Amino acid sequence: NFNLADSLVFIDHKISLEHIYKLFEETNPQIKIAELNYGIASDEKRLAWSSLLPNFSLAYFKQARDGNAGFYGASFGISVPLWFIFDQRGKIQEAVANQSISESQLQLTKNEVALKLKSAFTDHENNLKQVKLYVNDILPQAEEIYRTAIKSYDAGELTYLEYLQAKQTLISSRNNYINALFNHYQSVFRIEEIVGQNIIDKSELEK
């Protein structure tokens, strides 16, 4: 007799596109790098503009008037280096341009990752349908055909060649199911790679 091994168990983890879309902007490595670059460019722009701010000075002092001590005074000053404004103009323009470029790069990265994620999810959906087709239809039918072939062969109603054909059908269905299951989990792992974190419990696959 030929027994169908039950070591590969299919688990439908109910992955939704809405759920993984909520995750990828927070954890995708490419997006995190682009966000870091944008943050650096924003800081550099802020520093470039802050260099144009005037310098303020405030001083307190004690003085005597007409021989009487105990008088206090204060002085307040402000300086605006006009030559420095022209000197910094190029640096400010460069900082503004760098921030604009990094912002565009960040959005471009998000769009590219979103497209990759949608493509990976489409592959996952197709592979999932294939696995369910084997689990719900093809494998049960192949098993039933094989069980019937065993009984018919034992009763002398089936030739040995016909029995082998039924057995081969079951083996072939099983192999195709394993390939479909492999493709299914490969597509899940691809989604996890894009998102940047686990979305299924790997311990379930070891049971």
In the chain, the number of structural domains is: 1
Looking at residue 6, its pLDDT comes to 47
User: Would 166 be classed as within a structural domain?
Assistant: yes
Q: What is the CATH number of the domain that holds 171?
A: 1.20.1600.10
User: Would 67 be classed as within a structural domain?
Assistant: no
User: Would 25 be classed as within a structural domain?
Assistant: yes
Looking at residue 164, its pLDDT comes to 94
Residue 169's domain spans which residues? 17-48+82-206
The half-sphere exposure of 185 on its side-chain side, counting CA atoms within 13 A, is 14
Looking at residue 141, its pLDDT comes to 95
User: Would 10 be classed as within a structural domain?
Assistant: no
User: Would 63 be classed as within a structural domain?
Assistant: no
User: Would 77 be classed as within a structural domain?
Assistant: no
Q: Helix H segments across 5-81?
A: 17-27, 29-50
User: Would 162 be classed as within a structural domain?
Assistant: yes
User: Would 54 be classed as within a structural domain?
Assistant: no
Q: Do residues 27 and 198 make contact, with C-beta atoms less than 8 angstroms apart?
A: no
Q: What residues are paired with 83 via a beta bridge? A: none
**What parts of the chain have a pLDDT lower than 70?**
1-8, 49-88, 201-207
